Chains A and B, each alone.
Chain A
Amino acid sequence: MSDIESTQSAPGVRSRPMSELETVVIRFAGDSGDGMQLTGTEFTKSIAAEGSDLATFPDYPSEIRAPAGTLAGVSAYQVHFSSQEVYTPGDQPDVLVVMNPAALRINLPDLPRGGIIITNVGSFTQSNLEKAGYKANPLEDGSLSGYQVFAIDISKQVALALEGTGLTVKEVGRCKNFYALGLMFWLYNHPIEREEKSIRAKFQKNPKIAEANIKAFRSGYYYGETAELFPSRYVVPPAVIAPGTYRHITGNEATAVGLITAAQLASLPLFCGTYPITPASDILHTLAMYPHYDVITFQAEDEIAAITATIGAAYAGALGVTTTSGPGMALKTEAIGLAVMAELPLVIVNVQRGGPSTGLPTKTEQADLFQAVFGRNGECPVVVVAPATPGDCFGMAIEAARIAIRHMCTVIYLSDGYLANGAEPWKLPEVASLQEIPVTFRTDPQGFFPYLRDPETLARPWVVPGTPGMEHRIGGLEKEDVVGNVSYDAQNHEKMVRIRAEKIACVVREVPDATVYGDTSGDLLIVGWGSTYGAITQAVKSLRRRGHRVSALHLRYLNPMPANVGRILASFQRVLVAEMNLGQLLTILRAQFLVDAVGFHKVQGRPFKVSEIVIKAEELLCAREQAELCAHAEMV
């Protein structure tokens, strides 16, 4: 937390020095019933309004309400805001707001020495300490001496503030998070009026609770102002942000909005057949709000019905989308084969989570790349794309639909838990700038065959039932080239297998060339895909600042890959592939380009830290330098 002392102070309050900061990372943590996600999102909204750049990440347990006070029940929300460009929610918090001992215990290891801890003393009861596994009270035993601890009895303060409001003890207890929020508003010098309006809007249906939350919020704010607890207030100046209208958006929301937009651009109804699964369900929840946009959401009886109903919808002329996560993807496998065989447009959204099996439902991972590219019986090629940031989900969802429709093929869209729940300010595109997606339903029976192909895209015609004179049959059995009758002919089968492969391969013509962040050649290229974009970019930025000849390549198109990937890989001395698996993209790159790339893997259900990538890169660069020195010495 680098700070520059300044003398400015807010008018009308007791003078307290105001320190200017470039970057702050705050983590709110508490029991999953403590409302930390709400606290975090409310603070984030205010940060956005103050003009900082920001990124957020919630981290919650898979149990909805694990027993109160236990380690399993800790839920957290991290926000990173800055006057500079922000790429990730931050490696480690500068400030930890913890509502109980369990939250402290889980999150303390991430807080650097000297970091700020703001905590609710009132929750450090014997029983809560025991539940968190503390033998002694860490607030009293000196174990936190390396940190700046601000211990406030929030429970008591809120109880006092809400005396006489007629609320139950439980209701009063649930206002604690707004007290903490108020305190943060004071500490970071945010105006309170806007938040009060927001609370009133949020609790519109229950004005009594709204007013209580506002009271708690104000108490927190005033406590900061009156108590001589904090030596300074902080201010993060606004970032230089491109002009435009912004909205705070998570990856799941952006995916849903992108899919609806794609359907509108194609003038097709959107059919989403799906089955609830973490962390993909929010896409369904968002889509379900929009029936007036020709969106049909179908919560099927299982993952298989979800995708097969979607295939039926695509057959009937809708933009068919099915959304899921790894285990659901596994169940859909056979049906993906049918979609490939029937050559109907289909978008499959896989919001990856920790696997295998049930794995880590609420945690992020990138280990379904092989499954997406290869995981089916037979030669079963599909297009695979992956968005890079929450906001990027919008554009890539449209892109997935565009490719599926144009090539009459299956597109797998690989998001992950980190993108799905992470949020960032998203600049709204101009509607007029969005390109229409042309759709042609064939209605001319003259010379029609179900497997006739467009010579350019190799797509077969899309003929929807209801079109007179074109009755025909399709299905999962191998089809005779062009004619489309069932065929067991040996030569025909190989021909069809090759055509289906070629059809996917030729999508490359529309895939934009990959761009390199940094110079187009150098000592080290760090390759990533999906949600690692932010961490890798930030790492490369700081490596370059230190004088290293490092660049980054981020792949949004994984099958087929952009045409220039091989050339880029060959322009660097070393290639490092950083991904949240044990080397899946690495294996594909090595196989496809015969490149001696090395991998950097993290499979902990958590995203990469910028520092981890920086350290790994420096290790490689250092090893290279030493090898060069040795070679030089030998020559001498």
Chain B
Amino acid sequence: MSQCNVVQAPKLTRKDFISDQDVRWCPGCGDYAILAGIQRVMPDLGVPREKIVFVSGIGCSSRFPYYMNTYGFHSIHGRAAAVATGIKMTRPDLMVWVVTGDGDGLSIGGNHFIHTMRRNIDLKILLFNNRIYGLTKGQTSPTSEQGMKTKSTPFGALDRPFNPLSVAIGSAATFVARSIDIDSPHLQYVLRRAAEHKGTAFVELYQNCNVFNDGTWESVTDKDVRSDRLLVLEHGKPLVFGKERKKGIRMRPDMSPEVVEINGNTSGLLVHDEMRRDEGYHFMLSRLAGPEFPEPIGVLRAVRDPTYEELLAEQVQAVVQRQGKGNLDKLLHAGETWTVS
């Protein structure tokens, strides 16, 4: 596949990433905004289109690969991360994205989700969280709130919900972030950061299902309440939020967080550090939720650790150095042999 005369490839545009398939999500679905965001970010990454693979499982979000003009694999329910792992291990030069949902990623695919994080293989995992099963028309999901009435839980869900960020941090993820479908600039920023990260990058996206769970994130993402209900994280900046940026978060002596009023003076507030190695602080951030706290968006954690495929390459190289590249004759003659004449 080598080319003799290298021609400077023309810069790609958003259009280059739009496939010829009609997008078939329900009108008004939050997925449209996310798709547009990704198609906008892609050209800036400097990765040729053919080197990008989108892998998905099953669910509304998992239709995503069909709409990207890259390589794509629409696999089976919950298994996208595992399929993507096989691709990345075989071809570390590819940029591999996983698109999943709260049901696909955290319920049927929960096992792959945590093990992918712990391996730190270089995959970008986008979890569209709408807190409902949309494709199967409205059952409770692992992120649905307790008590929520759905078709499968007419008297209220009994399960306690998962917090995807906490699960990711608890699974030793090296990159954990959150954004929302309707805040395009923030969404693009987070996607870009995920793309730049080496290792498993996990992004939770608050996404609205306007048919089966309309307004599920309204209480935090609505324009009128957003600044009070969301804590926008920035590395090296104190944790400040609120319309007039008069509220901050600090730690009590018992190591629990509290919201305090500030008057321009941010001393004593927690200062966001996405690169802290220990997960405790990032886990604490992931637990912040209403009504007492705003919900964090942005990059919670970004730590550089050796990736799985880097360690694999190192190991292979070491064995090759010690034993030389294998050949069939040596393989067949391994162990004790004897000759009959």
> Which A residues are within 8 Å of any B CB, using their own CB?
45, 48-49, 51, 241-248, 257, 260-261, 264, 269, 271, 273, 290-294, 296, 298, 300-302, 304-305, 308-318, 320, 334-335, 337-338, 342, 428-429, 431, 434, 443, 464-477, 485-486
Point out the residues of chain B lying under 8 angstroms from A294, CB to CB.
326
Does B91 lie within 8 Å of A464, measured CB to CB?
yes
Does A245 lie within 8 Å of B338, measured CB to CB?
yes
Does B91 lie within 8 Å of A466, measured CB to CB?
yes
Q: How far is the CB of B229 from chain A (nearest CB, A)?
A: 36
Q: Once the chains are docked, how many angstroms separate the CA of A242 from the CA of B339?
A: 10
Point out the residues of chain A lying under 8 angstroms from B69, CB to CB.
471
Does B73 lie within 8 Å of A473, measured CB to CB?
yes
Residue of chain A at shortest CB distance from B112: A305
Point out the residues of chain A lying under 8 angstroms from B19, CB to CB.
473
Q: Once the chains are docked, how many angstroms separate the CA of A486 from the CA of B89?
A: 28
Does B312 lie within 8 Å of A466, measured CB to CB?
no
Does B340 lie within 8 Å of A292, measured CB to CB?
no
Known: A290-B331, A313-B87. A246 touches B50 (CB 8 A): no
Does B66 lie within 8 Å of A473, measured CB to CB?
yes
- A431, A464, A466, most chain B CB atoms within 10 A: A466
- B66, B83, B320, B326, most chain A CB atoms within 10 A: B83
Q: Once the chains are docked, how many angstroms separate the CA of A474 from the CA of B66?
A: 8
Does A302 lie within 8 Å of B337, measured CB to CB?
no
Q: Closest 9 A-B residue pairs measured CB to CB?
A: A312-B86, A475-B74, A309-B86, A293-B326, A473-B72, A305-B82, A313-B86, A465-B71, A301-B115
Point out the residues of chain B lying under 8 angstroms from A305, CB to CB.
79, 82, 85, 111-112, 115
Does B79 lie within 8 Å of A335, measured CB to CB?
yes
Does B79 lie within 8 Å of A308, measured CB to CB?
yes
Per-residue CB contact flags for chain B residues 49-76 toward chain A (1 = under 8 Å, else 0) read 1110101001000000110011111111
Residue of chain B at shortest CB distance from A238: B340
The 8 Å CB contact of A312, one of B84, B325, B333, is B84
Point out the residues of chain A lying under 8 angstroms from B312, CB to CB.
296
Known: A308-B75, A465-B50. A244 touches B339 (CB 8 A): yes
Point out the residues of chain B lying under 8 angstroms from A245, CB to CB.
333, 337-340
Does A292 lie within 8 Å of B333, measured CB to CB?
no
Point out the residues of chain A lying under 8 angstroms from B94, CB to CB.
316, 465-466
The 8 Å CB contact of B337, one of A246, A311, A315, A429, is A246
A and B contact pairs by CB, cutoff 8 A, 29 listed: A51-B340, A245-B338, A245-B340, A246-B339, A247-B336, A248-B335, A257-B334, A271-B86, A291-B316, A292-B316, A293-B326, A296-B89, A296-B312, A302-B111, A305-B79, A305-B112, A308-B86, A312-B55, A335-B76, A338-B76, A431-B328, A431-B332, A466-B50, A466-B51, A467-B1, A471-B69, A474-B74, A476-B58, A485-B21
Q: How far is the CB of B109 from chain A (nearest CB, A)?
A: 9
Point out the residues of chain A lying under 8 angstroms from B324, CB to CB.
292
Count of A-B contacts with CB under 8 A? 199
Residue of chain B at shortest CB distance from A465: B71
Identify whether the interface residues of B are mostly helix, strand, loop, or mixed.
mixed
Point out the residues of chain B lying under 8 angstroms from A49, CB to CB.
338
- B48, B50, B55, most chain A CB atoms within 10 A: B50
Q: How far is the CB of A495 from chain B (nearest CB, A)?
A: 21
Q: How far is the CB of A129 from chain B (nearest CB, A)?
A: 39
Q: Once the chains are docked, how many angstroms separate the CA of A316 from the CA of B84?
A: 10
Q: How far is the CB of B35 from chain A (nearest CB, A)?
A: 14
Known: A302-B111, A471-B70. A257 touches B91 (CB 8 A): no
Supply 14 further A-B pairs (C-beta < 8 A) apart from A51-B340, A271-B89, A313-B89. A244-B340, A246-B337, A260-B326, A296-B312, A305-B111, A308-B75, A311-B86, A312-B90, A316-B91, A468-B48, A469-B50, A471-B69, A471-B70, A474-B74
Number of interface residues of B (CB under 8 A): 59
Residue of chain B at shortest CB distance from A486: B66
Q: How far is the CB of A318 from chain B (nearest CB, A)?
A: 5
Q: Once the chains are docked, how many angstroms separate the CA of A257 from the CA of B334?
A: 10
Q: Once the chains are docked, how many angstroms separate the CA of A116 from the CA of B336?
A: 31
Q: Once the chains are docked, how many angstroms separate the CA of A247 from the CA of B83?
A: 37
Q: Once the chains are docked, how many angstroms separate the CA of A338 from the CA of B334?
A: 37
Q: How far is the CB of B176 from chain A (nearest CB, A)?
A: 20
Per-residue CB contact flags for chain B residues 304-341 toward chain A (1 = under 8 Å, else 0) read 00000000100110011001111011011111111111
B93 in contact (CB, < 8 A): yes
Q: Once the chains are docked, how many angstroms separate the CA of A468 from the CA of B93?
A: 14
Known: A247-B337, A292-B325, A309-B82. A466 touches B76 (CB 8 A): no
Does B74 lie within 8 Å of A476, measured CB to CB?
yes
Q: Once the chains are docked, how many angstroms separate the CA of A151 from the CA of B75?
A: 64
Does A261 lie within 8 Å of B328, measured CB to CB?
yes
Q: How far is the CB of A478 from chain B (nearest CB, A)?
A: 12
Does B87 lie within 8 Å of A312, measured CB to CB?
yes
Point out the residues of chain A lying under 8 angstroms from B51, CB to CB.
465-466
Point out the residues of chain B lying under 8 angstroms from A465, CB to CB.
50-51, 53, 71, 87, 91, 94
Does B74 lie within 8 Å of A477, measured CB to CB?
yes
Q: Once the chains are docked, how many angstroms separate the CA of A312 from the CA of B116?
A: 14
The 8 Å CB contact of B90, one of A241, A264, A317, A471, is A317
Q: Once the chains are docked, how many angstroms separate the CA of A294 from the CA of B327?
A: 10
Known: A296-B90, A298-B89. A248 touches B75 (CB 8 A): no
Point out the residues of chain A lying under 8 angstroms from B72, CB to CB.
471-475
Does B90 lie within 8 Å of A428, measured CB to CB?
no
Per-residue CB contact flags for chain B residues 74-115 toward chain A (1 = under 8 Å, else 0) read 111101001111111111011000000000000000011001
Does B333 lie within 8 Å of A247, measured CB to CB?
yes
Q: How far is the CB of A544 from chain B (nearest CB, A)?
A: 27
Q: How far is the CB of B279 from chain A (nearest CB, A)?
A: 20
Does A475 lie within 8 Å of B332, measured CB to CB?
no
Known: A48-B338, A246-B337. A466 touches B326 (CB 8 A): no
Does B323 lie within 8 Å of A292, measured CB to CB?
yes
Residue of chain A at shortest CB distance from B20: A485
Q: In chain B between 7 and 54, which residues have their CB closer than 8 angstroms to a CB of chain A?
A: 19, 21, 48-51, 53
Q: Once the chains are docked, how many angstroms separate the CA of A190 from the CA of B319?
A: 38
Does A292 lie within 8 Å of B82, measured CB to CB?
no
Does B331 lie within 8 Å of A293, measured CB to CB?
yes
Point out the residues of chain B lying under 8 angstroms from A468, CB to CB.
1, 48-50
